[in-house]
A and B are shown apart, each in its own frame.
Chain A
Amino acid sequence: MKALHFWLTQSKKKSAALLAIGFSLFSAVSVMAQQVTSVVAASVVPVTAVPAISAGDTAWVLVSAALVLLMTPGLAFFYAGMVRKKNVLATIMQSFFMMALISVQWVIWGYSLGFGPSNNFFLGGLDWFLLKGMPAVSPLAPTVPHLAFMIFQCMFAVITPALICGAFAERVKFTGFVVFSLLWATFVYDVICHWVWGGGYFGSIGALDFAGGTVVHMSSGYSALTLALLLGKRKGYGKESMVPHNLTLVLLGTGLLWFGWFGFNAGSAGAANALACNAFVTTNTATAMAALTWCLIEFIHHGKATTLGAASGAVAGLVAITPACGFVDVSASLCIGAIVSLLCYSAIQVKIRLGYDDSLDTFGVHGVGGTFGALATGLWALKSINSGGADGLFAGNPAQFFIQLKTVGATALWSVSVTIILYYLVEKTIGFRVSPRDEELGLDLSQHGEEGYHI
């Protein structure tokens, strides 16, 4: 996938028409619109022997895109239930706002940076700025129109920066958060996305990441840890009570995440086929196993299984199976689910002892779970599950594990380094953290002038 191929298919005109409809949003700027549509028409270059567009695949990818979108409000509830009452709206807004901000960023330059036709291994370039000049289909999903693949990927780009919000919950300025997220999406997400999926270096050396263990969960998880350390603890951390204000919201959010994740993982097959079914089943199995394991650990450790534990376990399972779901079999997914809960639960206990304030455990769940999932893919992957993949260590291919290790290291390093730069950029200009007074008042009132709950 180093060079993108330009397919000529029966549906060429259809796709071009779809593109044109998409671009008609810009018809107000008529000069621009004319330019864009002419580029689309010119971009389709004849190539032979290409799979036709499949209606079934297209339907599945579009539905999956919608499922993945639903994960972001799910995440909003998951996080909002865990904060204090005075920050419920601000926390929901941090996730919800990403649906607006990144959806726009993605069509203007995000998709091009992530998946554009560059000749380097680092970034996709700006050839597809404003989605112009895209071929009718992407080689990554050759049986669906390119726009379907693009919008499916858009939803991934939306939720990833939203995941970070859990680390800096209850203490950042809305403006600082918005600017940081836009920069982060561009310089961290789009870059790593290109490395692994968009034709970049790690994809080319055979790194396996079916639906985003490195790209989504590690990138957000390590950046979250960095921000939690740089921003410092919440005012009153360790002294005031900071228990979740509404666990029913957390459970509702978890349910939506679990549901939407079928689009995230099974949709990443890019087609409605046996591989999508494998991803669907391994996703559900690992999630269920992780929730069971987390509850069991809590029961042994504290004598009670908690709802927050069931939710945390489910999310940890979803995170860990994400890179592996299209490469491993069901028995491996049981192991991945069981082990990830043990790892994430331990990581959170260590956090409590170290005393840093990753408020909602973004690193503890996404960073740790994502890292484990990416490495587990290198352990349990089977070529018999996915012929486009590779065998892992347990199938006698230790090289795959080292490729995974390399990708994990690079992802963590890049996420942490760029996040440090972006943090100082935002903090020194418009400011990232709220004033102590605003923090005390709560972000709902100080940042948005609203309250979540009235008498």
Chain B
Amino acid sequence: MKKVEAIIRPSALRAILDGLKVVGYSGVTVTEVSGHGKQKGITESYRGQSVEGLLPKLVVTAVVDDKKVTKIVNIIIKSARTGEIGDGKIFISPVTNVIRIRTGEKGKKAI
């Protein structure tokens, strides 16, 4: 099992969710975050005082079966890529266990 975390532009979310729906995958968590990468933040101005601000991003998190990782990653790349700096990143990490709270099922069955 792997955790796929994708930092994306907020505008890419709808396409990613639609893409996941097409392949029949529904378990996903979306978080609002701020940050910056190579493109740096954005300069904000308050009563003439400049402040270095962060860019709004979303993190889409999904824990998936090893076999599905490539498929999911491809959907995210296809939906979130504009080719400009700031498209985001995908982090993939191993997950040792998953437990469904309702039933107590463990492992792949709980995904």
Instruction: Indicate with 1 or 0, residue by residue over A291-302, a CB within 8 angstroms of chain B CB atoms.
Output: 000000010011
- Residue from the list B48, B51, B53 in contact with A349, Cβ < 8 A: B48
Q: Do B45 and A298 touch (CB < 8 A)? A: yes
With an 8 A cutoff between CB atoms, is B102 at the interface?
Answer: no
How far is B13's CA from A282's CA once the two chains are assembled, in angstroms?
50
- Tell me, rounded to whole Å, the shortest Cβ–Cβ distance linking A251 to chain B: 14
With an 8 A cutoff between CB atoms, is B103 at the interface?
Answer: no
Describe B's contact surface by its main secondary structure: strand
Describe A's contact surface by its main secondary structure: helix
With an 8 A cutoff between CB atoms, is A403 at the interface?
Answer: no
Neighbouring B residues of A304 by C-beta, 8 Å? 45
Q: Do A243 and B51 touch (CB < 8 A)? A: yes
| Total residues of chain A contacting the partner, CB 8 A | 16
Neighbouring B residues of A306 by C-beta, 8 Å? 45-46
With an 8 A cutoff between CB atoms, is A206 at the interface?
Answer: no
- Residue from the list A243, A301, A345, A349 in contact with B46, Cβ < 8 A: A243
Q: Do B51 and A309 touch (CB < 8 A)? A: no
Q: Do A302 and B50 touch (CB < 8 A)? A: yes
Neighbouring B residues of A298 by C-beta, 8 Å? 45, 48
Interface residues in A336-358 by Cβ distance below 8 A to B read 345, 348-349, 352
How far is B54's CA from A241's CA once the two chains are assembled, in angstroms?
11
- Tell me, rounded to whole Å, the shortest Cβ–Cβ distance linking B35 to chain A: 14
Neighbouring A residues of B47 by C-beta, 8 Å? 308-309, 312, 345, 348, 361
With an 8 A cutoff between CB atoms, is B49 at the interface?
Answer: yes
Q: Which residue, B44, B46, B47, B50, has most C-beta atoms of chain A within 10 A?
A: B47
Instruction: Indicate with 1 or 0, residue by residue over B16-44, a CB within 8 angstroms of chain A CB atoms.
Output: 00000000000000000000000000001
Interface residues in A284-320 by Cβ distance below 8 A to B read 298, 301-302, 304, 306, 308-309, 312
Q: Do B51 and A308 touch (CB < 8 A)? A: no
Q: Do A302 and B45 touch (CB < 8 A)? A: yes
With an 8 A cutoff between CB atoms, is A139 at the interface?
Answer: no
- Tell me, rounded to whole Å, the shortest Cβ–Cβ distance linking A312 to chain B: 6
How far is B89's CA from A47's CA once the two chains are assembled, in angstroms?
85
How far is B46's CA from A302's CA once the two chains are assembled, in angstroms?
10
- Tell me, rounded to whole Å, the shortest Cβ–Cβ distance linking A76 to chain B: 19
Q: Do B48 and A352 touch (CB < 8 A)? A: yes
Closest to A82 in B: B46
Closest to B44 in A: A243
Neighbouring B residues of A345 by C-beta, 8 Å? 47-48
A-B contact pairs, 27 of them (CB 8 A): A241-B51, A243-B44, A243-B46, A243-B51, A243-B53, A244-B46, A298-B45, A298-B48, A301-B48, A302-B45, A302-B48, A302-B50, A304-B45, A306-B45, A306-B46, A308-B46, A308-B47, A309-B47, A312-B47, A345-B47, A345-B48, A348-B47, A348-B48, A349-B48, A352-B48, A352-B49, A361-B47
The 7 closest A-B pairs by CB, nearest first: A302-B45, A348-B47, A349-B48, A352-B49, A243-B51, A243-B46, A308-B46
Besides A308-B47, A345-B47, A361-B47, 10 new A-B residue pairs in contact (Cβ under 8 A), listed by A number: A241-B51, A243-B44, A243-B46, A298-B45, A298-B48, A302-B48, A302-B50, A304-B45, A308-B46, A348-B47
